Amino acid sequence: SMATGAGDDGHGAGAGATAIPSVILNTGHAMPVLGFGTGSPSKPADLANIIVHAVRLGYRHLDTASMYRTEPTVGAAVAESVRAGAVPSRTDLFVTSKLWISDARPGRVVPALRESLARLGLAYLDLFLVHWPVAATAGGLPVDKSTLVEFDMEGVWRGMEDCHRLGLARSVGVSNFSAAKMERLLALAAVPPAVNQVEMNVGWRQEKVREVCARHGVVVAAYSPLGAYGGFWGSDAVMESGVLHDVAAARGKTVAQANT
């Protein structure tokens, strides 16, 4: 799962499904606050069906990335969601993807987005993020440290601004940017970032990042809201939190629900 700070206007959900509220980004576009992540290490074989089911349940925001290798599946699920009538059209869905570190150099940003769009079968993204403030000459995982090169924040951001101006990404933003990096980016940006997607949950609250972003109207999106529980780099601080267990019991909810 993935979640952002609360907003208030409803974003159309189908009959029987729960309407997930949206937050208005600095571009004027509405972003549903609860997103469906597709970057899990478990890589289920039936991911396309899982996504279509999530759309039937009311999810409208799908989060992918070039690095996850789930863009073709997300694109197929978007097409199937429309075909099957889970949503009236593609414009009812909010699709986020991300620029991988091997494309984080000025001349590669627009071409990399066009490649993501081709894999997704979409004409535009709702949100395109710089995945990490890191650049490398190779894209594999785990990242080979000998391939790391200096990250040209300004050059990469000019490419992101081009993506926005070309209409290929309705909103552009970043991910994994510290408070200091946000300040640097905001000082040079002609098109300000709409979102900073960072690891955030009750055990990791990102207070400095949230303060800078709030001051500049940048929405903070939380990834690993459950602490990436069970993941190889995850933590049990959320799912085994005594406070969340108490809140969940008092409200008759699961711990995961109590956290969002």
Ligand X SMILES: NC(=O)c1ccc[n+]([C@@H]2O[C@H](COP(=O)([O-])OP(=O)(O)OC[C@H]3O[C@@H](n4cnc5c(N)ncnc54)[C@H](OP(=O)(O)O)[C@@H]3O)[C@@H](O)[C@H]2O)c1
x-marked contacts with ligand X along 183-202 as a string, rule CB under 6 A: --------------x-----
Among 4, 27, 38, 66, binds ligand X (CB under 6 A): 38
CB of 233 to ligand X, least distance (A): 8
Instruction: List the structure tokens of 30.
Output: 């509405």
Residues paired with residue 206 on neighbouring β-strands, in sequence order: none
- Do you find a cis peptide bond into 88, omega within 30 degrees of 0? no
Q: Is 126 left (phi over 0), alpha (psi -120 to 50) or beta?
A: alpha
Q: Is 68 a catalytic residue?
A: yes
Binding mask 82-121 for ligand X (x = CB under 6 A): ----------------------------------------
Is residue 245 part of an annotated ligand binding site?
Answer: no
Verify binding: residue 42, ligand X, rule CB under 6 A. Answer: yes
Among 39, 72, 121, 203, binds ligand X (CB under 6 A): 39
Could you give phi then psi for residue 36, rounded to 5 degrees?
-105, 110
Residue among 8 and 178 whose Cβ is closer to ligand X:
178
**C-beta closer to ligand X: residue 127 or 168:** 127
Measuring CA to CA, which residue among 148, 145, 156 is closest to residue 181?
156
- Which has the closest alpha carbon to 177: 145, 244, 122, 129? 129
Residue 6 or 166 having the CB closest to ligand X: 6
Question: CA–CA distance from 34 to each of 21, 119, 151, 165 (Å)?
Answer: 8, 24, 30, 27
Among 82, 179, 186, 256, indicate the residue that binds ligand X (CB under 6 A): 256
Spot the catalytic one: 68, 124, 223, 229.
Answer: 68
Binding-site string for ligand X from residue 119 to residue 138, where x marks contact by CB under 6 A and - marks none: ------------x-------
User: In sequence order, what are the residues at sequence separation of 6 or more whose Cβ sits closer than 8 angstroms to the Cβ of residue 125?
Assistant: 95, 96, 97, 113, 116, 117, 168, 169, 170
Please give the C-alpha separations between residue 25 and each of 13, 73, 114, in angstroms, as whole numbers: 20, 26, 23
> Which residues, including other chains, have CB under 8 Å from residue 107's CB and lie 6 or more apart?
159
What are the residue numbers of the active site? Answer: 68
Binding residues for substrate: 131
| Site for ligand X, rule CB under 6 A | 1-2, 37-40, 42, 63, 131, 175-176, 197, 223-231, 239, 254, 256
